[in-house]
Structure 1
């Protein structure tokens, strides 16, 4: 962890609902 990854806004569509969340370094898991 040397570099500081920029916040990446990921838009996931679950159950027909759009969920927007920011993941720091890919910690969020996309099914």
Structure 2
């Protein structure tokens, strides 16, 4: 059960980081335009 929790937390952190990175890239692109 603990292994499942570890995978779940890693997945949540990964999705959060990718969302943050996507927002940063969008902001940088908007500033360039």
Using CA pairs under 8 Å that are at least 6 residues apart, name the structure with larger relative contact order, 1 or 2. 1
**Larger radius of gyration between Structure 1 and Structure 2:** 2
TM-score tier, shorter chain, comes to: under 0.3
TM-score (norm 1): 0.17
TM-score (norm 2): 0.17
- From the two aligned structures, give the one with the greater helix fraction: 2
- From the two aligned structures, give the one with the greater strand fraction: 1
